[in-house]
Amino acid sequence: MDIIFLGGLEIETVIGIYDWERTIKQKIVLDIEMAFDIQKAATTDDIAFALDYKTVSDRIVTFVENSEFLLVETLIEEIAKILLNEFPIPWVKIVLNKKGAISKARDVGIIIERGHK
C-alpha cells in the first residue's frame, strides 16, 4: 500500500482543560499519513483516481478550527474517524503535536494509527 501524507499542518483551535485555555486559540501541528493505492492514478494520469489531499486538508482544517475539545485525545480520535469515514483510505497514522504544552519540552502530543476493522 502506498502512503499519502500531509506534514506540518498547523491549525489554531480551542483545546485544553484549564480555564485560560478555554479563552484562547492554541496552535496544534498535524502530520497525517494515509494508506491509498496510487497505481490507477499513476497509470492513467487521471485525478479522478487520486486521493484529493487538498480536500482532505480543507476538511481537517475546518473541523479542527471549529472544534473546542478539552482533550487532544478526543480531537485526534475525531480526526481519524473523519478521515476513515469520509475518504477512501483503509488506514491512517496521525501525529498531533501541541507545542508549548509542557514548558521544558520542545514537543508534546499523541501518535495514533487507525484502520477499518
Q: Is residue 19 part of a domain?
A: yes
Q: Is residue 30 domain-resident?
A: yes
Q: Give a yes or no: residue 70 inside a domain.
A: yes
Which of the 8 DSSP states describes residue 16? Answer: -
Under 8 Å between Cβ of 67 and 13: yes
Kindly list the catalytic residues.
98
The answer to whether position 66 is within a domain reads yes
The pTM (predicted TM-score) of the whole model is 0.94
Domain that holds residue 56: 3-91+101-115
Beta bridge partners of 33: 5, 93
Q: What is the pLDDT of residue 54?
A: 96
The span from the CA of 19 to the CA of 24, in Å, is 10
**Number of domains within the chain:** 1
Residue 27: the pLDDT is 95
φ/ψ of 114, rounded to 5, equals: -140, 150
Check residue 89 and give its pLDDT: 97
CATH number at residue 58: 3.30.1130.10
* Residue whose entry in the numeric block shows the C-alpha cell 484562547: 24
In-domain check, residue 96: no
pLDDT digits (tens, 9 = 90+) for 21-54: 999 999 999 999 999 999 999 999 999 999 999 9
Mean pLDDT of 53-68: 97
32 within domain boundaries: yes
Query: 43 lies in a domain?
Result: yes
Nearest to 89 by CA among 54, 115, 117: 115
Nearest 5°: CA angle at 55, between 80 and 62? 65
Which of 62, 55, 54 has its CA nearest to residue 78?
62
